[in-house]
Chains A and B, each alone.
Chain A
C-alpha cells in the first residue's frame, strides 16, 4: 500500500464529495458524484477489496450516474438551495 497515493485519492474523495453537495448545477453534481464513486472504487482496490471495487465502478460510477442524468433531464437542472 503506497500511502502517498492513498492520501491523494482520499483528498480527491473529500473534494468531490464537498463539491457534489455544494454545487448549484445538478448535472455537475451528478458528474461529480460519479467522480466520487470512481475515487472510492480506487480506494477499495488499494485496500484489496477487488470485488467491492468492481461493484462500485459498475454501479456507482456507471449506472447510477446515468440514472442521475436521466432524472435531471426530466426535472430541473438547477437546485433551489
Chain B
C-alpha cells in the first residue's frame, strides 16, 4: 500500500512538473493572469483609493467580498475547535500542585485534601510543568507590550507597507500565546477570558460586514466605501482609504481573538485548567 502511494505521488509530481514548464515567466506582461484587470489596478489603484500598497487596495477594496468570507472562515475555524474540543464538565485531576511563592517549596495535594486558600502565599502550578523559570517569565513579560505595539502598527500601517489586518491580528494573538506560554494558562485566561475572545471574534466580523451594510444603507453597493464620504466629511477617494482601514481593524480584531481561542482549546484539550 505504501508503494502504491509512493508511485501515485511520483506520477502526479511528474505530471505537475511537466505542465509547469508551460507556465508563463514571472512578470510576463502577456501572461493570461495579467491581461484582464491587473493593468487597471496598477494604473488606477492609487488615484481611486489613495492607498500606495497595491496588495491592500486589491485585498480590502476591489476584492473585499473575498476577504470578508476569509475572515468568516477564520471564525469558523475557531468555532470548529470550540465545538470539537471544549468540555464543560470538570474532571478533577488526581492531584494538584501548589508552590509556596517565597520559598519555592512545592506541595502535592491529593484528591480530597485541603487546598491552600491564601493566594498571596501559594500559587497553583501545572501538574506536568513543574519547573518555574523566572527569567523566561519576566523577559516575555518585558517584550509583549512592544510586540503588541508592533502588531497595531502592522494593522494601521497596512496602507503604506506590507501587512494589514490579517498579519497584525496574527501577531497580536501570538503575543497573547507567548504570555500564556511564559506564565501559565490560568493567569492568561484571567486577563483574556474565553468569553471575551469569542465576543471579540464575532465583533471583528461584525465590524467588517457592518461597514458593508453602512454603504448599503447610504445608497451604494455592499462594501463600496466611496459613499462613506458623506459620513466622514472627506472626498470619496479618501473615504475609500478610510473604509479599507475600518475593515482591516475588523479583520485584525477577529483574527487575534480566534488565534488565542484556538490555542486555549488545543493546549488544554478543552478543559481550560492546565496547559503549556
Contact = CB atoms under 8 A, between A and B. Distances in A.
Contacts of B154: 54
Given A59-B170, A67-B266, A74-B266, A54 B177 contact: no
A73 B269 CA distance: 10
B262 interface: yes
Given A51-B55, A51-B163, A55-B166, A74 B267 contact: yes
Contact of B163 (A54, A59, A67, A74): A54
A12 interface: no
Given A71-B266, A74-B266, A74-B267, A62 B170 contact: yes
Contact of A58 (B170, B268, B275): B170
Given A51-B55, A73-B267, A73-B276, A66 B174 contact: yes
A50 interface: yes
Interface residues on A, range: 10 to 19
Contacts, number: 50
A62 to B, nearest CB: 5
A63 B162 contact: no
Given A58-B171, A63-B259, A70 B164 contact: no
Nearest to B269: A74
A54 B167 contact: yes
B21 interface: no
B245 to A, nearest CB: 16
Contacts of B262: 67
Interface string B260-276: 00110011110000011
B26 interface: yes
Interface of B: 26, 53, 55-56, 154, 162-164, 166-167, 170-171, 173-174, 177, 181, 259, 262-263, 266-269, 275-276
Interface of A: 47, 50-51, 53-55, 58-59, 62-63, 66-67, 69-71, 73-74
18 contacts: A51-B163, A51-B164, A55-B167, A58-B170, A58-B174, A59-B170, A62-B170, A62-B174, A63-B174, A63-B177, A63-B259, A66-B263, A69-B276, A70-B263, A70-B266, A70-B275, A70-B276, A74-B267
